[in-house]
Amino acid sequence: MRLDRAEFRIVSLPLLQPFRTSFGVVSEKTFLLLRLFGEGLEGAAEGVMDARPQYREETLSGALALLRETVLPEVLGRDWVNPEELTRHLSFLRGNRMALATAEMAFWDLHARSLGRPLSALLGGVRDAVPVGVSLGIQPSVQATVETARAHAERGYRRIKLKIEPGWDVEVVRAVKAALPDMPVTVDANAAYTPAHLNTLLELDGLGLDYIEQPLAWNDLRDHAKLQALMRTPLCLDECITTAQDARKALETGACRLVNIKVGRVGGHLEARRVHDVAASFGAPVWCGGMLESGVGRAHNIHLATLENFTKPGDTSSSSRYWARDIICEALETESGLMPVPPGPGTGVTLDLPFLDSVTRMRETVTPASPQVTAWGAG
């Protein structure tokens, strides 16, 4: 497969409702969309880096520069047998997992389409639908949280995840658990707590949660291991895990008992599969996290979550929860708590180009000869 050219877009999609976490409030999702072209086909992927480095250290502008100036000059105009070969060629680059994932995932989509096969089949998936939970941002009140959680339980979602932060934790969890005693409930702190919050974390430990996600610092395995030793509730790590080696160290030292895999965070599908396999070797379940992706990123997540050890419901809930209109033609909607895998080659989704043009803030084409800006501004 020869890569002929690439196209970047910076896309902004307004959320139907603001999504609040311990990081702040998101009302509009701005993301990088990468399209790779070769042999009359195209593959697409979505970068999960934010404008500011508040989730991990990467940023949208930094990723765009790295891809434009380093990654694409290395891969365009060349023939690649498969994604493994392309990834090995880029292995000299340190860090920048999200930027590298964007290129790797777009090539996976293109490669699978060239073979006429679904991405899930190439990754080793074993399901045609994946179990889905819902992630609820911090709500205006406890009662509003209970009502929202109940509404999603009635729609068939198989897990309720509550975003928490100091001061918004024990009371809201108690209320939701009381309202939905048979529903698996989890919490996600996004690294908002410190060891000084131990009493609060131990209170959460007594509330029957399925797991507690990333309570402590984004880069701290040691304190998570100390905390897990004090708790019955499993800890799940997210931000701390960027490679299969991170997953091994976390599970080996008892820093967690399960892992959230975000394909963009760990550098792409190959490393995501390695993290999955490492966790399986420890008997630790994994699940697929989300980053408020559009349909392009959501479709990649769905295909990844078909692997065998994704036994916990993931965050790939219906696109209609987030967007009035998505940038793909297909509807990614749950059915009785299951998200069907989009049929067809590659990710199985196609870009709605007229609508995509209307929400594009910047567009740039890169060729093997030299980067060339072809359009700036909306559309």
Catalytic residue set: 163, 262
Q: Is the CB of residue 11 less than 8 Å from the CB of residue 360?
A: yes
Residue 366: exposure state from Cβ atoms within 10 A (0-12, 13-18, ≥19): buried
What distance in Å separates the CA atoms of residue 289 and residue 351, rounded to the nearest whole number?
Answer: 23
What distance in Å separates the CA atoms of residue 87 and residue 71, rounded to the nearest whole number?
Answer: 11
**Residue-wise over 292-313: b if at least 16 C-beta within 10 A, else e?**
bbbbbbbbbbbbbbbbebbebb
State both tokens at 221. 């395995």
Q: Regarding beta strands 338-340 and 129-131, do their DSSP bridges make them parallel or antiparallel, or are they unpaired?
A: antiparallel
Q: Is the CB of residue 311 less than 8 Å from the CB of residue 288?
A: no
Q: Is the CB of residue 26 less than 8 Å from the CB of residue 48?
A: no
* Element of type H or E holding 360: strand 360-366
What distance in Å separates the CA atoms of residue 75 and residue 79, rounded to the nearest whole number?
Answer: 8
* Element of type H or E holding 222: helix 221-230
Q: Which residues contact 338 (CB under 8 A, 6 or more apart)?
A: 129, 130, 131, 132
Residue 372: exposure state from Cβ atoms within 10 A (0-12, 13-18, ≥19): exposed
What distance in Å separates the CA atoms of residue 90 and residue 249, rounded to the nearest whole number?
Answer: 24
Q: Is the CB of residue 177 less than 8 Å from the CB of residue 153?
A: no
Question: 344's torsion region: left (phi>0), alpha (psi -120 to 50) or beta?
Answer: left
- Could you tell me which of 117, 167, 160, 169 has the C-alpha nearest to residue 344? 117
Q: Considering just the CA atoms, what is the radius of gyration of the chain in Å?
A: 20
Identify residue 282 by its one-letter amino acid code: F
